[in-house]
A and B are shown apart, each in its own frame.
Chain A
Amino acid sequence: MYSIQIKGHALCIISAILIALLIPRQSLSQNKPMNAMSVETLKLQVTALSRNSQTISSDFVQEKMMTMITEKIITRGKFFFKKEKMLRWEYTEPFSYLIIINNDQISVKDENKVNHFNVQSNKIYLEINKIILGSIQGTLLNDEKNFKSIFMENESSFIVLLKPLAPKLKESLTDVVIHFDRRDFTVSQIEMLEPGGDRTRITFSGKKFNQPMADEKFLVH
């Protein structure tokens, strides 16, 4: 019995050492800092992609992870972008909710109730607009006035960690993490971290570029 316990302890210790050795290596191998040249290449590629993309459409899955609550809130929807500043952000599951940003006008359709307002008049949407459009257009990567950027990479992604500098934005977000797909420099994931520890992760899939897209898509009826 005693020897079994010792064996058990030894096994635990060995496992712990192995895990301790493996996890840091794995996390290091997952995300390592990018050098200045790679950062410049990323910025140039993202800007070039943005310049050449007249329209983008994609499906998305949004997961909100809350501290102390094991259940994730998962929502799904579709996203459409048309140059210069037209965005359709549509939740389809488990509820229907539509946000349309057409230049500086925001329209929100919530259960058949439609509201229109100016993007400048709503601070939350103003920030969301900046983050989503800025991620797609790559302008956030150069926004040194509002964000401190940390560039990392792993086998599948370039990862840009943006730390808000503006005091107002800092109150609601501590970090914005943008994942760019290594293969095509498109945004594959945006993660928003809040001061309380809550996180929202938006993962994009089925991205399509430069497909015909009517302006009517950015109108609310």
Chain B
Amino acid sequence: MKNSWFISIFVLLFAGCVSVKPAKLTRDPSQITRNNVIHQPLQVIPFSSRFLLFKASLDIKKHHLTGLLVIKRMDSLIEAGNPGRGIRPVYRIVFANEIGMTFFDLELTCDSLKVISCFESLNKKALMKIFRTDFLLLTGMDTMTEKRFYTQSPTNNLVVFGKAGKLKSWQTFSPSGDTLIKTSGKSTIADPVIISYLKYEKGFPTRITVENPFISMKLTMRLLNRKP
């Protein structure tokens, strides 16, 4: 019993140490200028597409799953649960192996993640909560509020902190503010996520990695097809 308490405290302390805040930040006094550079809504950069097809691999603990990941913005829109958040899109996220067998099929709204189908070994409540945070951040479902601007040294990248729904989120842009390099965020100490956007082609990142340091999970995505 004593041991389990000790382990729990250790896990909590460890989890608390997983930081998603970018390093070496200096508060940027020129907020108004910055605000004009970065147009609203921030989060839909770069996920403004209706249909995205990626070659993807998911590494979680000793498992290595590969296949195709579809992110589809559905035609339907729903009213967000909390007042003032307005109408939000619905996303369908499907990950299937190369042969076509579905690993998971999820429906994401700003308030919930519904499991349409899922391999038994992946269908865990804790994992689904983490997926929810990952995909909320990836799709930029909620507009960022209470923004604060920073400059990162030595790159001079522009970093924006804000709240997006229940997420506390950081977004790292190129110094000119026109290219999203990284987003990170968490809603609790158990779901920190860092998303990197790489190899931009025609204004869209063709490589995206989603890392969950708390559970050592990494989703790597390579763009195959995009329908605006």
Task: Name A's B-contacting residues (CB within 8 A).
Answer: 62, 64, 66-69, 71, 73, 75, 91, 94-95, 97, 99, 108, 110-111, 115, 124, 128, 171-173, 192, 194-196, 198, 200
Contact = CB atoms under 8 A, between A and B. Distances in A.
Nearest to B117: A196
12 contacts: A62-B100, A66-B70, A66-B105, A68-B74, A69-B70, A69-B72, A69-B94, A91-B98, A94-B224, A95-B224, A111-B222, A124-B101
Nearest to A173: B101
A94 B225 contact: yes
A73 B70 contact: yes
A126 B99 CA distance: 13
Contacts of A110: 57, 66
A64 B94 CA distance: 11
A69 B92 contact: yes
A95 B98 CA distance: 10
B24 interface: no
A166 to B, nearest CB: 14
B201 interface: no
A95 B105 contact: no
Contact of B102 (A68, A111, A194): A194
B5 to A, nearest CB: 37
Contacts of B96: 64, 73, 198
A141 B72 CA distance: 38
A124 B64 CA distance: 12
A97 B98 contact: yes
Given A69-B72, A95-B224, A198-B105, A128 B99 contact: yes
Contacts of B105: 66-67, 196, 198
A95 B56 CA distance: 11
B100 A64 contact: yes
A100 B90 CA distance: 39
Contacts of A196: 102, 105, 116-117
A14 to B, nearest CB: 33
Given A66-B70, A110-B57, A110-B66, A75 B98 contact: yes
B51 interface: yes
B101 A172 contact: yes
A122 to B, nearest CB: 10
Contacts of B101: 124, 128, 172-173, 192, 194, 200
A91 B70 CA distance: 18
Contact of A172 (B57, B74, B116, B119): B119
Given A95-B55, A110-B57, A172-B101, A195 B117 contact: yes
B120 interface: yes
Nearest to A66: B94
A192 B100 contact: yes
A196 B106 CA distance: 11
B125 interface: no
B61 interface: no
3 closest cross-chain pairs (CB), A and B: A200-B100, A196-B117, A64-B100
B97 interface: yes
B138 interface: no
Nearest to A91: B98
Interface string B191-228: 00000000000000000000000000000001011010
B68 interface: yes
A67 B116 CA distance: 10
Interface string B71-107: 0101000000000000000001010111111100100
Contacts of B227: 71
Contacts of A64: 68, 96, 100
Given A172-B119, A198-B100, A200-B100, 4 more contacts: A66-B92, A97-B55, A128-B99, A195-B117
B53 interface: yes
Contacts of A91: 98
Interface string B43-65: 00000000101010100000010
B68 A73 contact: yes
Given A64-B96, A194-B102, A198-B105, A73 B53 contact: yes
